[in-house]
Each structure stands twice: as structure tokens, then as C-alpha cells.
């Protein structure tokens, strides 16, 4: 069971993540979008979307630092474990609250506004449920265990196991002794990766980064005389049918 959960499941989810994106791009390019509903309701979206996206960027960056960067490297560049712990806990709390608040507004918007609710698909509901579960587990681990509780050093266990997956040397024993909330959060993270290609999350890979370096669009006024307005087709047709134009008095 340990091998199935901590070795087979991550590789299966990563395979679905890659193959699912290839399938989606080849068979559903027109659906590769956020499916925005801004025209239907913008008040809650104007507040919820920035909170969600900024919080998500902070959370992803924090996870990358904690899981990908070894503790030995941060200590080598002069960042003590105490400083790292304070930065990770408080930074994770702030960005987590932003993410949770933004997600709550986006979910409420889906249920409060009837027009937005009618365009909400089943996959949207599954995605929001998965994100809500991940945020709940993450905030429980960050605030409940590390901020208010005794703390847990995941960099010596979970982070080592996570990096081992990409080196094809995962050690399931490292996850066996981890707290349950961390175990569920890790499993949920990989399941979210498997779900990713089949949801609106694919728009992350279509971010308009080219806008940052594309040339400006210059608009110039047309100089010279303005051409006379042409009569409408109906006016010309009625004039042709009049008695004067047809030669009858």
C-alpha cells in the first residue's frame, strides 16, 4: 500500500498531467481558455480574481522554495533555519489567506449570480471542490501545525521524497511518518495535477507574456478631406423607383 500511494500514484498523476495536456491541445484547442464570465458579473470577479491569482503565485512560489530547494543550500547562502521558518510560515499564512479569500469569492459568485451559475459546468464544480480541499489542508498544515502548533520540519522528509520522484528514487518511508494533514495535502496535490489538463487551469500555459515585449501599436489620424457620406442602399433604390427618375410625370 505504501508503494502504491507514494510511488505509483505520483508517477501515474504526472503521466496523466503530460498526456492530458497533449490530448487537450490536439483535440480541444478552442476550449483551451479560461471560459471567462466577466460579461455576466464583474463586481465579485474584480476583487476575487486578483486575490486568488496573487495568492496562488505566492503559494506556488513558497512550495517551490520548500520542496525543491534543499535546506543545505539555504544554509550555505546564509539563511538560517529559524529565518527560513519564520519567512515560510508568515509568508505562507499571508498568501494562503489571500488565496482562500479569493477562492471563496469566486465560488460564491458561481452560486449567488444566476447567470454565472447557469454557465458553470460539472468540471468547474469539481475543480472548485479540489481547490477548496487543497487550500483547507494547506492552511491547516501552515497555521494549525507550524504557526499555532509545535511545528513540523517537512524539508527533511516530504521535500526529500518529492525531489526523489524526479530523480526516480522516491523513498516512501519518508512519507510514512509524516503527519496525516501533510500526507493528504501531498496526495491531493498530485491528484490536482492529474485533473489539471481537463479543466480551465490549462489557461496558465497561455499567459500573454508576449505583451511584455511586443512593439507598441501606433494609431495615426487620417489627414486630408473627409470623403462625403454615401447614401444608404435603400435611399438609392427608392430614388431609382421614383416617377421623375423613370421619366414619368
Specify the higher pLDDT residue, 124 or 147: 124
Q: What is the pLDDT of residue 174?
A: 94
Q: What is the pLDDT of residue 248?
A: 47
- DSSP state, residue 83: H
| pLDDT surpassing 80 at residue 176 | yes
| pLDDT surpassing 70 at residue 26 | yes
Q: Comparing C-alpha atoms, which of 204, 146, 148, 147 is closest to residue 179?
A: 146
φ, ψ of residue 33 to 5 degrees: the values are -160, 170
Q: What is the pLDDT of residue 249?
A: 46
Q: What is the pLDDT of residue 104?
A: 95
What is the arithmetic mean of pLDDT over 136-155?
90
Q: Dig out the grid coordinates for 109 from the structure.
A: 459568485
Residues 179-209 pLDDT 10s: 999 999 999 999 999 999 999 999 888 876 6
Altogether, the residues listed in the chain come to a count of: 249
Share of the chain above pLDDT 90, in %: 53
Say whether 225 sits in a helix, a strand or coil: coil
Q: Comparing C-alpha atoms, which of 156, 38, 137, 44 is closest to residue 96?
A: 137
- Report how far residue 249's alpha carbon sits from residue 165's, in angstroms, rounded to the nearest whole number: 95
pTM: 0.80
| pLDDT surpassing 80 at residue 154 | yes
| pLDDT surpassing 90 at residue 44 | no
The sign of the CA dihedral 161, 165, 166, 169 is positive
Query: Residue 233 — very low, low, confident or very high, per pLDDT cuts 50/70/90?
Result: low
Say whether 122 sits in a helix, a strand or coil: helix
- DSSP state, residue 40: T
Query: Residue 63 — very low, low, confident or very high, per pLDDT cuts 50/70/90?
Result: very high
Share of the chain above pLDDT 70, in %: 83
- DSSP state, residue 217: P
Q: Which residues contact 202 (CB under 8 A, 6 or more apart)?
A: 21, 24, 32, 196
| pLDDT surpassing 90 at residue 59 | yes
Cβ atoms of residues 121 and 161 within 8 Å: no
Most confident of 139-148, 166-175, 209-218, 231-240: 166-175
- DSSP state, residue 7: I
Averaged confidence pLDDT in the chain: 86
The DSSP string of 134-166 is HHHHHHIIIIIIIISSS---GGGTHHHHHHHHH
Q: Comparing C-alpha atoms, which of 128, 166, 155, 158 is closest to residue 14?
A: 166
Amino acid at each position: 500500500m505504501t508503494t502504491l500511494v507514494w510511488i505509483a500514484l505520483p508517477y501515474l498523476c504526472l503521466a496523466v498531467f503530460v498526456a492530458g495536456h497533449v490530448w487537450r491541445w490536439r483535440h480541444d484547442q478552442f476550449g483551451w481558455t479560461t471560459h471567462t464570465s466577466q460579461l455576466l458579473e464583474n463586481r465579485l470577479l474584480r476583487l476575487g480574481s486578483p486575490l486568488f491569482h496573487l495568492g496562488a503565485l505566492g503559494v506556488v512560489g513558497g512550495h517551490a522554495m520548500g520542496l525543491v530547494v534543499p535546506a543545505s543550500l539555504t544554509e550555505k547562502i546564509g539563511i538560517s533555519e529559524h529565518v527560513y521558518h519564520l519567512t515560510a510560515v508568515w509568508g505562507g499564512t499571508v498568501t494562503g489567506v489571500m488565496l482562500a479569500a479569493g477562492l471563496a469569492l469566486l465560488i460564491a459568485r458561481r452560486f449567488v449570480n444566476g447567470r454565472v451559475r447557469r454557465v458553470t459546468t460539472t468540471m468547474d464544480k469539481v475543480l472548485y471542490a479540489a481547490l477548496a480541499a487543497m487550500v483547507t489542508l494547506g492552511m491547516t498544515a501552515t497555521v494549525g501545525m507550524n504557526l499555532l502548533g509545535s511545528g513540523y520540519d517537512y524539508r527533511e522528509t516530504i521535500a526529500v521524497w518529492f525531489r526523489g520522484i524526479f530523480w526516480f528514487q522516491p523513498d516512501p518511508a519518508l512519507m510514512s511518518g509524516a503527519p496525516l494533514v501533510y500526507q493528504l495535502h501531498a496526495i491531493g496535490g498530485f491528484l490536482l495535477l492529474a485533473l489539471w489538463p481537463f479543466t480551465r487551469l490549462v489557461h496558465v500555459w497561455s499567459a500573454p507574456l508576449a505583451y511584455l515585449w511586443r512593439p507598441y501599436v501606433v494609431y495615426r489620424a487620417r489627414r486630408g478631406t473627409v470623403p462625403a457620406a454615401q447614401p444608404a442602399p435603400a435611399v438609392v433604390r427608392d430614388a431609382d423607383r421614383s416617377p421623375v427618375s423613370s421619366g414619368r410625370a
